[in-house]
Amino acid sequence: MIQVLLERYRQGFRTGAFPRLEPVLPERFRGLPIFGGCPANCRECETTCPFGACQVVDSQVIVDLGRCLFCADCPACVHGRLSFSTEYRLAADRREGLRYGGGTYSPAEGLEPKLKKLFGRSLKLRQVSAGGCNGCEADCNVLGTLVFDLGRFGIQFVASPRHADGILVTGPVNENMRSALLDTYAAIPEPKIVIASGACAISGGPYQESTEGCRGVSELVPVDLFVPGCPPHPYTLLDGLLRMLGKRK
Amino acid sequence: MTESVYLKNGGMTPVAAIPRLEYGDFGQAIVTQVQKGQARVAAYFAVLSDEPGAVLEIFAILARERHGDLAVFRTLVGERFESLTPNCSQVHLFEREIAEQFGVIPEGHPWLKPVRFHRSWRPDHDAWGRDPAAHPLVGDLDFYRIDGDGVHEVAVGPVHAGVIEPGHFRFQCYGETVMHLEISLGYQHRDLERMLLGGPHPATPSQIETIGGDSTVAHMSAYSKVIEGLTGCPAPARAKAIRALGLELERLANHVGDLGALSGDVGFLPTASYCGRLRGDYLNMTAHLCGSRFGRGLVRPGGVLFDLQSSLSARILAALEDCEANTIGAIRLFFDTPSVLSRLEGIGRLSRSAAEDLGLVGVAAKACGVPRDCRFFFPTGIYQQEFDELITDENGDVFARARVRSREVEVSLGLVRRILGNLPKGETMIPMGPLPPESLAVTLVEGWRGEVVHVGLTDGTGSFRRYKIVDPSFHNWSGLALALRDQQISDFPLCNKSFNLSYAGFDL
């Protein structure tokens, strides 16, 4: 017993100061894209991004954060005018909200007031991995560790859909997980929410050309929160969850 | 000895140089070498053949620990061929895989069931005569069943109670005792190998990095070495050292995380809490290196995308300083606690002979006393000079699998220090030329779970005719099923965690 106490003392207090303080992310972290100053009439990024994340609308580049994998060797801009900032607050309420045209990004504003009232102090989630690689799952799991301590925000992952207020979906939703996902969704009592975490769950990510479905979760069920990234940084996910519940602005 | 081509890890050969054996000789060569313990099946896959009378060409890659090389065989088969499984269990799943992909029948296979539940790659040829127009129903399997008084069946999954990947487990129980466990996977199948055909494509690196998202560096290193092997342009020494750093940090994060999770599963919360946090600290070191906690974007064919300046080295060393003492302390507390040990010892035991017969790799094999480590037997890069600490244990139980991890953690901590302290100078990336036509390259990388095998086979234009991926989980899931025999069903979570296998890496 004394060893347990001594070790506990040595390990110290490790829970982060988030959300009171902003997290310090590594310099090389790739968050919100930075772009602009494109040559006139250049539309090359529409074809060079293998995941179709870039579009040019009225000579304005739009980067779809739901398709972007934040690649370190991003091939999208042959002129080298696309890079990444360390801005991690990227979650959006609507699919359309992920279409970023530069300037200030508007992250999620949260659920409607009635749902915020219902779930704001206690949100139980069921997690379904539908073709995920275990990257998104691992960085969702990590929110349960004492660094993030998800429980202090009243959010918890539960072992049955019957105990849940919503699902957090990872993975592109491949053919073999489609019915299990729909069954899980159906088993959750109303009203319920759906969170799509990671590029796969939002758009199919690197698997959007697969023959096994893989076009993301919003084709099947309505989504209340989109969390971009491959995988999303745990703070991106946590920030998104808190915004959804109206605990962060 | 049968005619063959012998490659070093990362080696390349023109396909024409691989002798094409009669199927009988091919089978004989594999069965004999495996039975004598001279070799084991590292990869075994097929491509369509246009030779008259043949349907498929099968390639076998045998790993030969004693020689430190890989033997490559190939042969032609028709719609039906004699299964090798009755004489060589190591190919049991590979043969099922080939049957599912091409609708051919390995005759006499004792357990011929679907692996991943996808349509046949050859339209109108299904090994089980299923409707070719419909997608096979996942989990639609003739499960092994035991009947009798007091015998009952327990079905778990695909969606599990935690934040983990999906899979289906079917237990045949007598009271609390598991007589048999059958594991049915395929729920994460994304058709990854076929998406790589005709490549490399621009999307290929992202797909390789997400074969198993917790083994990004291992899989991407293997892929890069295949490309480098094919083109004959090895990555610079500095890049190889940075890759090894990424690989060891990946091992540290996952081993430490697994020890924490095992601790959680036996209800010992101190180590569970500490290791959960420490796992994140190791992931953050990888993020300092390349911006991603999972090593996304670190490794590319030709080298690495991120250099390690001395300021960054110092920063990672400082982080390591803090982590190391806490990691050792957390693990020591775990192994010094009698109530923990009593929950680990003798649980989920797998015999050495079962591990060898099934061709297990990685932590699961090492825990049974089977020496398997590509860093030791097939070393490349810095492992040629820096690695001589092959870890094995004896009892093949949960305790042994935990102890292999804890000892590997210590070895990896030392390796990370040595790499950071002695980084070769020079470039971190060299350009890659086009891939040569009609060639084959194979690489083995010791990921944290075990041996990751990638084989690249090019067509006449230098594009991928086949790209074969063997995640360590492909071999090891069968080990978990066997380890559960005669165990309490309540010990399943603990046994499962002690293997901690990848669903995505298996399902592809």
How far away is chain B from the Cα of A7, in angstroms, using its nearest Cα? 7
All residues of chain B having their beta carbon less than 8 Å from the beta carbon of residue A127 are 162-163
Mean pLDDT taken over chain B = 95
Task: Check: CB of residue A123 under 8 Å from CB of residue A150.
Answer: no
pLDDT (mean) for B470-481: 96
Domain boundaries, chain B: 5-107, 192-507
**Could you read off the pLDDT of B268-292 as tens digits, one per residue?**
999 999 999 999 999 999 999 999 9
HSE, side-chain direction, 13 A CA sphere, residue B121: 20
Nearest by CB to B191, from A210, A230, A234: name it: A210
**Could you read off the pLDDT of A141-185 as tens digits, one per residue?**
999 999 999 999 999 999 999 999 999 999 999 999 999 999 999
**Could you read off the pLDDT of B195-234 as tens digits, one per residue?**
999 989 999 999 999 999 999 999 999 999 999 999 999 9
Instruction: Kindly identify which residue of chain A lies nearest to residue B165, measuring between CA atoms.
Output: A129
Phi and psi of B19, rounded to 5°?
A: -60, 140
How far away is chain B from the Cα of A48, in angstroms, using its nearest Cα? 9
**Of B6, B138, B18, whose CA–CA distance to B457 is shortest?**
B18
CATH architecture of B5-107: 2-Layer Sandwich (3.30)
Specify whether the backbone of B145 is left (phi greater than 0), alpha (psi in -120 to 50) or beta: beta
Instruction: Kindly identify which residue of chain B lies nearest to residue A74, measuring between CA atoms.
Output: B297
All residues of chain B having their beta carbon less than 8 Å from the beta carbon of residue A172 are 190
| Tokens 């970023």 sit on residue | A100
> What is the per-residue pLDDT for B161?
86
Question: Does B192-507 match B5-107 at the fold level?
Answer: no
Question: Residue B5: what residue type?
Answer: V
> What is the per-residue pLDDT for B1?
57
Helix/strand number for chain B, H first, E second: 17, 16
Radius of gyration of the CA atoms of chain A, in A: 19
- Residue B424: is its pLDDT beyond 90? yes
For residue B72 the two structure tokens come to 């490559």
pLDDT tier, B321 (very low <50, low <70, confident <90, very high otherwise): very high
Q: Do B163 and A135 touch (CB under 8 A)?
A: no
**Could you read off the pLDDT of A192-248 as tens digits, one per residue?**
999 999 999 999 999 999 999 889 999 999 999 999 999 999 999 999 999 999 998
HSE, side-chain direction, 13 A CA sphere, residue B103: 14
> What is the per-residue pLDDT for B132?
83
- Residue A23: is its pLDDT beyond 90? yes
**Of B249, B268, B294, B221, whose CA–CA distance to B408 is shortest?**
B249
> What is the per-residue pLDDT for A213?
87
| DSSP assignment of B150-196 | TEEEEEE-SS-SSS----EEEEEEETTEEEEEEEE--TT---HHHHT
Give me the helix-helix angle, A2-11 and B269-290, nearest 10°: 20
**Could you read off the pLDDT of B120-139 as tens digits, one per residue?**
999 889 999 998 889 999 99
Q: Do A11 and B118 touch (CB under 8 A)?
A: no
Beta strands A166-170 and A123-129 are parallel
Beta strands A60-64 and A54-57 are antiparallel
What structural domains does chain A harbor?
113-244 (3.40.50.12280)
> What is the per-residue pLDDT for B157?
85
How far away is chain B from the Cα of A152, in angstroms, using its nearest Cα? 15
ipTM above threshold 0.85? yes
- Cβ neighbours for B237, distance < 8 A, ≥ 6 positions apart: B381, B424, B426
Task: Check: CB of residue B406 under 8 Å from CB of residue B363.
Answer: no
How far away is chain A from the Cα of B503, in angstroms, using its nearest Cα? 8
Q: How far is CA B440 from CA B25, B169, B211, B467, in A?
A: 21, 37, 21, 10
Percent above pLDDT 70 for chain A: 100
Mean pLDDT taken over chain A = 94
All residues of chain A having their beta carbon less than 8 Å from the beta carbon of residue B119 are 211
Task: Check: CB of residue B3 under 8 Å from CB of residue B18.
Answer: no
Report the residue count for chain A.
249
Tell me the CATH number for domain B192-507.
1.10.645.10
Q: Does B488 touch chain A (CB under 8 A)?
A: no
Alpha-carbon span B55 to B47, nearest angstrom: 9
Percent above pLDDT 90 for chain A: 87
Instruction: Kindly identify which residue of chain B lies nearest to residue A208, measuring between CA atoms.
Output: B190
> Which secondary structure element, helix H or strand E, spans residue A60, and what is its range?
strand A60-64
- Is residue A10 classed as helix, strand or coil in its secondary structure? helix
Q: Which of residues 165-194 of B touch A (CB under 8 A)?
A: 165-166, 186-192, 194
- Cβ neighbours for B132, distance < 8 A, ≥ 6 positions apart: B119, B120, B123, B124, B125, B126
